[in-house]
Amino acid sequence: MKGIRQLAEHLDISIGTVSRALNGKPDVNDETRRRVLAAAEELGYVANQSGRSLRQGMTNVIGLMLEVSRETIENSDDFFLGVTDGLQSVFSRHKLDLVMLPCPDDEDPHEYLKRMVARRLVDALILSATRRTDRRIELLEKARIPFVALGRSASGGSYTWMDLDFEGVAARGVDRLVAKGHRRIAVAAPSSDINLGYLFVDAYRQALQRHGIAFDPALVIRVKSSEQGGYQAGHELLMIEERPTAIILIHELMAIGLYRRLAEAGIVPGRDLAVVGFREEPRTHFLQPTLTSFRMSLRDLGAQLGETLLATMPAYADHYPQGARNRIWPLELVPGESDAFTLNQKNRA
């Protein structure tokens, strides 16, 4: 890392000229400007620390960190674009801009975030895809950077988070299926250590307990959160000895792959197997029979997330007195045909 002095020496040009070239002043000829900028990039010139630090907290930009795996690419859904829309509707009130920070698949999210913090691109951050143990939370706490986590975690102190009501989905799914006579209810849960998987399976187990149904670990099918994962879940379900009569899914796109695997086996959702999907998504609208799933407004979630974040930032907190608290975001059940049938006594035996 070089400063302006080293740059001037290297180019054999006065510091004043180098500074004017870097500052885009008009009294520098094009050729000199080009040489200075090229050398600055080449030598890894870094503006003096005070100049950089002065910007801290004043970029007027908020970052949304995303994880971009091969899996997310192939299964891109409307979730983050929808949330972005809501976030921007709030940030624009304060002339704040949103940038998306895509963490590559092959990089450790903690290391990536560390670098983003060092780059001082943003005043505040939104984390997504929180893990059970998530070191990113301590990192931001220590760096005193305002943030909100979209997703809970066992890590960190008293940070602010928002999360979907995974427990509510699991409980209402089980209640609904039990009311229709089902007792062997499988779940398709994520195979990763994403925190929502823990929350969901815990809530599922508790709901079964409320109904006096023993928890059977064989009915927790661990697959990828994707269409392909749904296909795999269908495949594994068909191989379970005493086959479940119902399944609850924990990712929006799983239903598409599951329907495909069931069709291959001649099994019709809502007639031969009850299926409760997760979040209603444009793509799942095309499924036949229609899918029982849960509705939410991504834009409203994004707007609430934006307000919650601003409530944690001193300059904006006054505008959002109710904002800086943790929130579970509700989802509304939308009944479809996929879990329409009721088990009679003969089936149950």
Identify the bridge partners of residue 99 per DSSP, sorted by sequence position. Answer: 63
Tokens of 23: 């500052």
If one asks whether residue 85 binds a copy of itself (CB under 8 A), the answer comes out as: yes
Residue pair 153/315 in contact (Cβ under 8 Å)? The answer is no
Looking at 5, 179, 264, 282, which residue binds a copy of itself (CB under 8 A)?
A: 282
Q: Of the two residues 51 and 335, which places its CB atom closer to a copy of itself in the complex?
A: 51
Residue pair 200/233 in contact (Cβ under 8 Å)? The answer is no
If one asks whether residue 283 binds a copy of itself (CB under 8 A), the answer comes out as: yes
If one asks whether residue 5 binds a copy of itself (CB under 8 A), the answer comes out as: no
DSSP string, 12-70: T--HHHHHHHHTT-TTS-HHHHHHHHHHHHHTTB---HHHHHHTTT-S-EEEEEEEE-H
Task: Quote the CA–CA distance of 167 and 268 in Å, as a whole number.
Answer: 27
Looking at 9, 14, 93, 115, which residue binds a copy of itself (CB under 8 A)?
A: 115
DSSP class of residue 252 equals: T
If one asks whether residue 24 binds a copy of itself (CB under 8 A), the answer comes out as: yes
The secondary structure of 71-120, three-state, reads HHHHCCCCHHHHHHHHHHHHHHHHCCEEEEEEEECCCCHHHHHHHHHHHC
Shortest distance (Å) from residue 145 CB to a copy of itself: 11
Q: Binding to a copy of itself (CB under 8 A): which residues in 309-328?
A: 313-316
**Which range touches a copy of itself (CB under 8 A), out of 43-51, 188-196, 321-329, 331-339?**
43-51
Q: Binding to a copy of itself (CB under 8 A): which residues in 186-215?
A: none
Q: Of the two residues 88 and 338, which places its CB atom closer to a copy of itself in the complex?
A: 88
If one asks whether residue 265 binds a copy of itself (CB under 8 A), the answer comes out as: no
x/- contact string, 132-161, with a copy of itself (CB under 8 A)? ------------x-----------------
Task: Quote the CA–CA distance of 154 and 131 in Å, as a whole number.
Answer: 8
Q: Which residue, chain included where needed, has tokens 């269409």? A: 227
Shortest distance (Å) from residue 212 CB to a copy of itself: 40
Tokens of 193: 């250590």
If one asks whether residue 82 binds a copy of itself (CB under 8 A), the answer comes out as: yes
Q: Of the two residues 29 and 92, which places its CB atom closer to a copy of itself in the complex?
A: 92
If one asks whether residue 59 binds a copy of itself (CB under 8 A), the answer comes out as: yes
Shortest distance (Å) from residue 167 CB to a copy of itself: 27
Q: How far, CA to CA in Å, does 97 sit from each of 87, 124, 126?
A: 9, 11, 13
If one asks whether residue 293 binds a copy of itself (CB under 8 A), the answer comes out as: no
If one asks whether residue 305 binds a copy of itself (CB under 8 A), the answer comes out as: no
If one asks whether residue 238 binds a copy of itself (CB under 8 A), the answer comes out as: no
If one asks whether residue 74 binds a copy of itself (CB under 8 A), the answer comes out as: yes
Shortest distance (Å) from residue 340 CB to a copy of itself: 22
Residue 33: half-sphere exposure toward Cβ, Cα within 13 Å: 11
Looking at 31, 41, 241, 242, which residue binds a copy of itself (CB under 8 A)?
A: 41
